Amino acid sequence: MPVLAETGEGPGKAGGMGPREVSFRRLRSSDLDLLHRWLNAPHVLRWWYDEGTSYREIEERYLPRIEGRETVKPFAILHQDNPIGYIQSYPISDGGDEQYAALVDVEASAGVDLFIGDPRYVHRGLGQYIVRAFLSEHVFSNPGVEVCAIGPEPKNKAAIRAYEKAGFRFFKTVQIPGKPETEYLMTLTRKEFEGHFD
Ligand SMILES: CC(C)(COP(=O)(O)OP(=O)(O)OC[C@H]1O[C@@H](n2cnc3c(N)ncnc32)[C@H](O)[C@@H]1OP(=O)(O)O)[C@@H](O)C(=O)NCCC(=O)NCCS
């Protein structure tokens, strides 16, 4: 039985959508089936399309992260201990992709990307809590990180709004060479994070 099997239960009427139900754990190779399913779901594929959709492509992309051979750290997003999505963090200015670091051009910065893979949990207000819990536990917990950056596509209005609700603000638009769309780069400093109350 896969370690990370989706349960048949959705959020439920009584199931809360608040921050207390959200947690994270490192992604495992046994999660790749679920990741494959999520990355082929239309609501994810619309915005997360450049890493391939076949199982083999996904394995090639995510196994090095799972095995710690890349600076990208992959996590499963859990809601009441059930996997509902994927989130990753990576250094930008210090040991990350040099080309991306030059584009962002912010000292002591780290990046985050995520998607809610289970469609039952999308557009229910959970994204802001996922982001804030992750920043607290896995980004600003690193004393070397002063700024977090996140780069949705300009057309991804739902993501931009969810990140604004988590405290991010527009910083600049960047064009990563070879990518079909620009990034609407948003940033949040440690100080802003600590002073942000909903
Ligand atoms: C982006 C994402 C993390 C946002 O989290 P979320 O919990 O779904 O976000 P919210 O429910 O807070 O909705 C954010 C905004 O989307 C808009 N929205 C709400 N319902 C929507 C719907 N059915 N369709 C499109 N947009 C909708 C609203 O403007 C909402 O803001 P508001 O509540 O202040 O009005 C999540 O939707 C997701 O993972 N989407 C799929 C993949 C993706 O886009 N990943 C991000 C790549 S950068």
Does residue 76 sit within a domain?
A: yes
Long-range contacts of 15-23 (CB under 8 A, 24+ apart): 15/80, 17/124, 17/125, 17/126, 17/129, 18/129, 19/129, 19/132, 19/133, 21/79, 21/80, 22/77, 22/78, 22/79, 22/126, 22/129, 22/130, 22/133, 23/78, 23/81, 23/133
Max avg pLDDT among 12-16, 183-187, 193-197: 183-187
With a 6 A CB cut-off, is 125 part of the ligand 1 pocket?
yes
> In this predicted model, what pLDDT tens digit does every residue of 68-115 receive, in sequence order?
999 999 999 999 999 999 999 999 999 989 999 999 999 999 999 999
Supply the pLDDT for residue 20. 79
Read off the pLDDT of each residue in 32-59 and give the average, rounded to a whole number. 95
Asked whether residue 14 carries a pLDDT value surpassing 50, the answer given is no
What is the number of the ligand 1 atom nearest to the C-alpha of 151? 48
Does residue 188 sit within a domain?
A: yes
* Domain of residue 105, residue span: 19-195
With a 6 A CB cut-off, is 41 part of the ligand 1 pocket?
no
Share of the chain above pLDDT 90, in %: 85
Residue nearest to atom 31 of ligand 1 (CA): 161
CA of 158 to the centre of ligand 1 (A): 4
Does residue 13 sit within a domain?
A: no
CA of 57 to the centre of ligand 1 (A): 26
Does residue 39 sit within a domain?
A: yes
Asked whether residue 35 carries a pLDDT value surpassing 90, the answer given is yes
With a 6 A CB cut-off, is 115 part of the ligand 1 pocket?
yes
Does residue 2 sit within a domain?
A: no
- Work out the pLDDT band at 34, boundaries 50, 70, 90: very high
Does residue 9 sit within a domain?
A: no
Tell me the CATH number at 183.
3.40.630.30
What is the number of the ligand 1 atom nearest to the C-alpha of 158? 16
Supply the pLDDT for residue 198. 54
Residue nearest to atom 21 of ligand 1 (CA): 123
Does residue 145 sit within a domain?
A: yes
Supply the pLDDT for residue 50. 87
Q: Beta 109-116 vs 147-150: how paired, if at all?
A: parallel
Asked whether residue 16 carries a pLDDT value surpassing 80, the answer given is no
Does residue 4 sit within a domain?
A: no
Work out how many domains the chain is built from and give that number: 1
With a 6 A CB cut-off, is 124 part of the ligand 1 pocket?
yes
With a 6 A CB cut-off, is 23 part of the ligand 1 pocket?
no
Supply the pLDDT for residue 115. 98
Is the overall model pTM greater than 0.85, yes or no? yes
CA of 67 to the centre of ligand 1 (A): 30
Question: For the ranges 2-6, 17-21, 159-163, 171-175, which has the lowest average pLDDT?
Answer: 2-6
